[in-house]
Amino acid sequence: MKLLQINTTLISSATGNIAYQIGQLSVANGDESYIAFSGRYPKNKKIINSIRVGSILDFYWHALITRVFDRHGFGSIRATKKLIKKIDVIKPDIVHIHNIHGYYLNIEVLFSYLAASQIPVVWTLHDCWSLTGHCDHFEYVGCNKWQTACHTCPQKTLYPASLMVDNSQANYVNKNRLFNSIDNLTLVPVSNWLNSNLKKSFLKKHPSKVIHNGVDLEVFKPSSKNVLVKNFSLNKKFILLGVASIWTEKKGFNDFIKLSKGLDDNFVIFLVGVSQKMKKKLPKNIISINRTSNKRELANIYSSADLYLNLTFEDSYPTTNLESIACGTPVITYKTGGSIESVGQDAGFIVNQGDIDSLVEIIQAVRSGILPMISSDDLRSIAIKKFDKNINFEKYIYLYRDILEVL
């Protein structure tokens, strides 16, 4: 079997890692694996059969027409045509799409080709962009226009930002037409929450199968190295951890600041991924570092914390929850999207969005022992059972086989 995956990034993000790991499993099963990714990023010579789509200049041009005309997904015509020529040479048995937003693909060109070629397509939905006329998530603003017809987008100036035209209505119509033009399309939402919304969208006619994400349990595991105590002199402090690739209000940045005001000197908040500009806004009881690309370093940070806090207001199935649990650190998450699916009652606590008082109450109760601390061993057992990338991503290999056997 020849597998071609398409995703914005390659390794340098959660979705990029997922695509790469699925490719590795495919090769381990005796198949050929190819991955196409945005030319915004350099090619990794260690990864064979990787295909850059477009160039950095193409990325900026696509971003420009998005900023002005709200035409995200309708630039990069030449780059997409070049990709199609490579697909014709590869002749894949399965095309597996991940994120196709990110200023590097033309969906008109790509989906017209896929519909005509009749190559079976698997599409993993990591967010909600495929369902809307503009945004990649709608929970934060409580918008349900995507269920009928997008227009007058309340998030026009947010990713993929348009600073002038609102083209959400036309985008919605065109996405509906293009995405439904493929007969042999199987959708894979990464959470039950996303699957339930999928059934309310214009993609509801296609078969869907939930496959939860997994993580590398050889990397994300409990560590005896208490790097936060050692490197930041946090001895005897109850450490609350937050991790994000980009911190925004939606990710809970402001709520961490609000939380810090309700905690005494026994507690400290440690945030990973904070830019130099945002560091200036933090109070003294919040320590921050820039984003780390070293996974083992991140695993040591998870292991050093007493609680991991995910205060996001929108997410489909955050990988950081899985990483924290795999490292033996319980999670407190807002009742957001698919975030609660990885936590439940066994691996942490769930709080209503923005309920800082309840958040403080739970944190203090855990520290005092009123609420029992979930053991690292129990959390590790949960991770082995539910979050092993090899087990979860193997489900894609079975899905490919099932699709091809039917044809």
The 10 Å CB-count burial string (b at 16+, else e) for 368-397 is: eeeeeebebeebbebbeebbbbeebbbbbb
Multiple choice CATH, 2-214+389-406, 3.40.50.1000, 3.50.30.40, 3.40.50.2000, 3.40.50.300: 3.40.50.2000
C-alpha dihedral (158, 162, 164, 170), degrees to nearest 10:
-110
C-alpha dihedral (100, 103, 109, 115), degrees to nearest 10:
10
Pairing of strands 185-189, 238-243: unpaired
**Do 140 and 146 meet the contact criterion of CB atoms below 8 Å apart?**
no
* Structural domain 227-386, CATH architecture: 3-Layer(aba) Sandwich (3.40)
Helix or strand holding residue 116 (H, E): helix 107-117
Alpha-carbon distance 51 to 43, whole Å?
Answer: 8
Name residue 5's beta-bridge partners.
35, 96
Residue 182 has pLDDT above 70, yes or no: yes
Any residues with CB less than 8 A from the CB of 262 and at least 6 apart, and which? 356, 357, 359, 360
Quick: pLDDT tens for 98-124: 999 999 999 999 999 999 999 999 999
Confidence of residue 125 (pLDDT cuts 50, 70, 90): very high
pTM, two decimals, is: 0.94
What's phi and psi for 311, nearest 5 deg?
Answer: -100, 35
Q: 129-138, 289-298, 312-321, 337-346: lowest mean pLDDT where?
A: 289-298
What pLDDT shows up at residue 229?
81
What pLDDT shows up at residue 126?
97
Helix or strand holding residue 57 (H, E): helix 56-69
Confidence of residue 345 (pLDDT cuts 50, 70, 90): confident
Structure tokens at 152: 């007058």
Domain boundaries, the chain: 2-214+389-406, 227-386
Quick: pLDDT tens for 208-222: 999 999 999 999 999
Residue 230 has pLDDT above 90, yes or no: no
Fold: same for 2-214+389-406 and 227-386 = yes
| Length in residues, the chain | 407
Confidence of residue 325 (pLDDT cuts 50, 70, 90): very high
| Average pLDDT of the chain, as a whole number | 95
Map tokens 């490919």 to a residue: 400
Residue 225 has pLDDT above 80, yes or no: no
C-alpha closest to that of 352 among 264, 285, 255: 255
Q: 182-191, 225-234, 306-315, 389-398: lowest mean pLDDT where?
A: 225-234
Residue 9 has pLDDT above 90, yes or no: yes
- At 160, which amino acid appears? P
CB neighbours (10 Å) of residue 87? 21
C-alpha closest to that of 66 among 8, 126, 135: 135
Any residues with CB less than 8 A from the CB of 384 and at least 6 apart, and which? 217
Quick: pLDDT tens for 25-81: 999 999 999 999 999 998 887 788 999 999 999 999 999 999 999 999 999 999 999
Residue 406 has pLDDT above 70, yes or no: no
What pLDDT shows up at residue 40?
92
What pLDDT shows up at residue 292?
81
Any residues with CB less than 8 A from the CB of 208 and at least 6 apart, and which? 186, 187, 188, 189, 195, 198, 199
Alpha-carbon distance 136 to 151, whole Å?
Answer: 15
